[in-house]
Amino acid sequence: MPQNEEASKIYFVSRGQRIMAGMSGETIDLDNNAIFGAMDRYPGGIKDQWTCLHKVRDTFHYFLAIEEEKRNNK
């Protein structure tokens, strides 16, 4: 959807910047600094960074839950 275009582009740029914990390398979150860095450098700028941040984080945690479910069902 057009209203999600900026957030999707920011998501694809920053999704690999995970915060990991423990020796198992479990992903616990996405690095907000990576998201803000991408938004700050987005061509033309992102006017509503707060909304974009939440869209990116919601998307990340949606896919993280799917990854965890697949890992637990093996």
**Domain ranges, residue 63:** 2-72
Q: How confident is the model at residue 22 (pLDDT cuts 50, 70, 90)?
A: confident
Number of domains the chain contains: 1
Torsion of CA 32, 35, 58, 26, to 10 degrees: -60
Q: Are 24 and 37 in contact (CB under 8 A)?
A: no
For every residue of 14-63, DSSP letters joined together read HTT-EEEETTTTEEEEE-HHHHHHHHHHSTT--S-HHHHHHHHHHHHHHH
Phi, psi at residue 41, to the nearest 5°? -100, 0
pLDDT tens profile 36-73 = 999 999 999 999 999 999 999 999 999 999 998 998 88
